[in-house]
Amino acid sequence: MLGAVDIWQAALGAVLLTTAVVASALARRRQRALEEAAEFVRSMSVSGAEGRRIEASGSGARSALQEAVNATAARLEERGREVQRELVQQRAILAGMADGVLAVDGDGRVVLVNKAAHELLEFAVKRPEGELLGDVIRQAEVLDLVARCVSLGQREGSRVTVYVGTAGTPRVLELRAAPIGETEAGGCVLVLEDRTELVRLERVRRDFVANVSHELKTPLTSIRGYLETVRDDPDLPAEMRDRFLGKSIRNADRLAAIIGDLLALARAEGDGAATHRERVGLRELARGVMVEAAPLATDAGIGVELDAPIEVFVDGDRAALASALLNLVENAIKYSGPGTVVRVEVAVLGGAARLAVEDQGPGIADEHLERIFERFYRVDKDRSRELGGTGLGLSIVRHVALSHGGQARVLSTLGKGSRFWLEIPAEPAR
């Protein structure tokens, strides 16, 4: 028979064995929970946390671990959505920017490039990301600027002219480069602004100021010279005095004409016509212009005819359109010879109203046709001034056409005459 001690020892052994079995089972369950959590975290690092969760099972520490892992996955999922939204917004902003944006890393590899930068720099490949910048563009000035920014870790800027397209069209670019981060060789972001149109407008402005100064200075100098002569010579014969005063008046009239045309041009360029719109009948308008030009035509021995079988209506500025047509008619009369005919036409073609003036004058050489509508451009400067031209009439015609949503055109043949016309949207037939 077993003694009491033996029974106690047997019971203790059973308890210890049971405890060991339970502890081993618990350890295995915890190990499986840890392995499950570790596998879940690994899978999240590869494929993300979107919609992924550990299935809840067990209780106690295992349940707490599962809840903690699921909470972490939920936060990562939400953070991933935020990052995705930010990326979409950034890409939309970059794509919509008029300025080009280019970013490179410390090794000079393209990290980011937007659509505008593609158009301004003409990359050799459609997707330059990951490529060395020097392998995908050929603009040496751009490469040098980026290289200085990356190597020195400081802001750089310059204005360069690049040539794009098969025709080698010049573009003036304003470049601004800034380092990424605060350490050297940490990369660079480059902003490219196309200043081509601005540079062209600056050049046009300078030329305009120079031309205006010259055009105003010439008659002013003449007026001053004639008047000083009359003042300083009290014994000047009356006939010569009258001639000098007459020339002074003619030069004053020329000054007034230039200033008047400058004001008309300023109104046309500033879309002044757009603020005085009404329903205008072009046939009626042409008849009024012909009446106004009749004395000039009679003095020159030139006939003026109107070809307007139907009335054509437009929504426009009556005064501006009349001024443009009168400029064309007077030019045709001035440059045509006695016995010729100036023909004014009103028609509608394909929804566009046409106001045309055709003369039988000397015509215009082809090399002048592209510039004929520029301010102060004259084919024959001496003859133009002799006839009282300011060099602004055709420029006014062009801007009146543009302010009405149309255009001005010309066809000419040397020795056979010229044909100028405006095309503007016609009012639909009622």
Phi, psi of 141 (to 5 degrees): -65, -40
Q: Whole-angstrom Cα distance, residue 214 to residue 111? A: 53
Q: pLDDT higher for 258 or 387? A: 258
Q: pLDDT higher for 341 or 200? A: 341
Asked whether the predicted pLDDT for residue 14 surpasses 70, the reply is: no
Confidence class for position 25, pLDDT limits 50, 70, 90: low
Sign of CA dihedral 279, 283, 286, 288: negative
Confidence class for position 285, pLDDT limits 50, 70, 90: very high
Quote the DSSP letter at residue 83. H
Confidence class for position 416, pLDDT limits 50, 70, 90: confident
Q: Whole-angstrom Cα distance, residue 113 to residue 127? A: 9
- Considering the domain architecture, whether residues 374 and 398 belong to the same structural domain is answered as yes
Q: Whole-angstrom Cα distance, residue 338 to residue 341? A: 9
Please report, to the nearest 10 degrees, the dihedral formed by the alpha carbons of residues 253, 255, 258, 261 taken in order. -60
The pTM for the full model equals 0.52
Give the model's pLDDT for residue 420: 92
**Tens digit of pLDDT for each residue in 177-193?**
988 865 555 788 989 99
Confidence class for position 137, pLDDT limits 50, 70, 90: confident
> The domain that contains 247 carries what CATH number?
1.10.287.130
Mean pLDDT of 275-281: 80
Averaged pLDDT score across all residues of the chain? 78
Q: In sequence order, what DSSP letters do the residues of 290-314 get, joined into one string?
A: HHHHHHHHHHHT-EEEEE-SS--EE
- Considering the domain architecture, whether residues 173 and 241 belong to the same structural domain is answered as no
Cβ 117 vs Cβ 94: under 8 Å:
no
Confidence class for position 92, pLDDT limits 50, 70, 90: low
Please report, to the nearest 10 degrees, the dihedral formed by the alpha carbons of residues 253, 256, 260, 266 taken in order. 140
- Considering the domain architecture, whether residues 78 and 136 belong to the same structural domain is answered as no
- Considering the domain architecture, whether residues 209 and 187 belong to the same structural domain is answered as no
Q: Which residues contact 253 (CB under 8 A, 6 or more apart)?
A: 388
**Tens digit of pLDDT for each residue in 235-249?**
888 888 888 888 888
Give the model's pLDDT for residue 344: 92
Mean pLDDT of 362-368: 84
- Considering the domain architecture, whether residues 27 and 143 belong to the same structural domain is answered as no
Last residue of a domain, one of 58, 92, 126: 92
Q: pLDDT higher for 199 or 382? A: 199
Asked whether the predicted pLDDT for residue 217 surpasses 50, the reply is: yes
- Considering the domain architecture, whether residues 80 and 132 belong to the same structural domain is answered as no
Specify the amino acid at residue 141: E
Cβ 356 vs Cβ 340: under 8 Å:
no
Q: Whole-angstrom Cα distance, residue 349 to residue 423? A: 9
Q: What percent of the chain has pLDDT over 90?
A: 8
- Considering the domain architecture, whether residues 61 and 173 belong to the same structural domain is answered as no
Give the total number of structural domains in the chain: 4
Give the model's pLDDT for residue 345: 92
> At 119, is the secondary structure helix, strand, or coil?
helix
Q: In sequence order, what DSSP letters do the residues of 237-287 get, joined into one string?
A: -HHHHHHHHHHHHHHHHHHHHHHHHHHHHHHHHTTGGGGS-EEEEHHHHHH
Cα separations (Å) of 192 from 87, 118, 127? 22, 11, 18
Give the model's pLDDT for residue 273: 45
Mean pLDDT of 252-279: 71
Strand 313-316 relative to strand 278-281, pairing = antiparallel
Asked whether the predicted pLDDT for residue 400 surpasses 80, the reply is: yes
Mean pLDDT of 401-406: 87
Quote the DSSP letter at residue 233. -
- Considering the domain architecture, whether residues 50 and 83 belong to the same structural domain is answered as yes
Q: In sequence order, what DSSP letters do the residues of 130-144 get, joined into one string?
A: TSBHHHH---HHHHH
Confidence class for position 283, pLDDT limits 50, 70, 90: very high
Q: Whole-angstrom Cα distance, residue 104 to residue 114? A: 13
Asked whether the predicted pLDDT for residue 390 surpasses 80, the reply is: no
- Considering the domain architecture, whether residues 181 and 252 belong to the same structural domain is answered as no
- Considering the domain architecture, whether residues 368 and 419 belong to the same structural domain is answered as yes
Q: pLDDT higher for 183 or 344? A: 344
Asked whether the predicted pLDDT for residue 24 surpasses 70, the reply is: no
The CB density around residue 202, as the number of other CB atoms within 10 Å, is 11
Last residue of a domain, one of 92, 121, 156: 92
Quote the DSSP letter at residue 387. T
Last residue of a domain, one of 146, 171, 194: 194
- Considering the domain architecture, whether residues 24 and 113 belong to the same structural domain is answered as no
> The domain that contains 139 carries what CATH number?
3.30.450.20
Mean pLDDT of 389-412: 84
**Tens digit of pLDDT for each residue in 167-181?**
778 888 899 998 886
**Tens digit of pLDDT for each residue in 37-79?**
666 666 655 555 455 555 555 555 556 666 666 677 677 777 7
Domain residues for the domain of 71 are 4-92
- Considering the domain architecture, whether residues 288 and 430 belong to the same structural domain is answered as yes
Asked whether the predicted pLDDT for residue 87 surpasses 80, the reply is: no
Q: pLDDT higher for 286 or 266? A: 286
Q: pLDDT higher for 244 or 7? A: 244
Give the model's pLDDT for residue 42: 63
By the 10 Å C-beta count (0-12 exposed, 13-18 middle, 19+ buried), 386 is classed as exposed
